[in-house]
Amino acid sequence: MNHTSLLPTLFRTEYGKIVAVITRHFGLEHIEIAEDITSETFLLAAETWGKKGIPENPSAWLYTVAKNKAKDYLKHHQIFSEKVAIEIQNTHRNIQTYEPDLSNENIKDSELRMLFAICHPCLTIESQIGLALRILFGLGIEEIAEAFLSNKEAINKRLHRAKDKLKKENVSLEIPNDTEINHRLSAVHATLYLLFNEGYHSTTHNRPLRKEICFHALYLAHHLAEYKKTNTPDLNALISLMCFHASRFEARIQNGEPILWEDQEHSLWNQELINTGEIYLNRSARGDQLSKYHLEAAIAYWHTQTHDEPEKWQNILQYYNILLQIEYSSIAALNRTYALFKVEGPQKALVEIRKLGLEENHLYHALLGHLFQINDSNSAITCFEESYRLAKTEADKKIIQNKIDILKLQMAKLSSRA
Per-residue pLDDT tens for 265-278? 889 999 999 999 99
Residue 263: which pLDDT band, with cuts at 50, 70 and 90? confident
Per-residue pLDDT averaged across 305-320, rounded? Answer: 92
| Alpha carbons 36 and 81: distance in angstroms, whole number | 18
Per-residue pLDDT averaged across 119-132, rounded? Answer: 91
Report pLDDT for 145.
85
Residue 93: which pLDDT band, with cuts at 50, 70 and 90? very low
Report pLDDT for 204.
59
> Between 88 and 350, whose confidence is greater?
350
Q: Please say if the pLDDT value at position 90 is more than 90.
A: no
* Domain extent listing, the chain: 1-102, 104-231, 307-356, 359-418
Instruction: Indicate the SS3 state at residue 228.
Output: helix
Of the candidates 144, 160, 238, the one whose C-alpha atom is nearest the C-alpha of residue 199 is 144
The C-alpha R_g of the chain, in whole angstroms, comes to 25
Per-residue pLDDT averaged across 245-263, rounded? Answer: 82
Instruction: Indicate the SS3 state at residue 90.
Output: coil
> Between 79 and 215, whose confidence is greater?
215
- Write the CA distances from 197 to 193, 212, 265, 283, 343, integer angstroms: 6, 12, 22, 23, 27
Residue 26: which pLDDT band, with cuts at 50, 70 and 90? confident
Report pLDDT for 94.
45
Report pLDDT for 81.
55
Q: Please say if the pLDDT value at position 208 is more than 80.
A: no
Per-residue pLDDT averaged across 152-166, rounded? Answer: 93
Per-residue pLDDT averaged across 271-294, rounded? Answer: 94
* b/e per residue 259-294 (b: at least 16 CB within 10 A): beeeebeeeebbeebbebbbebbebbeeeeebbbbb
Provide CB contacts within 8 A for 220, sequence distance 6+: 111, 112, 115, 136, 192
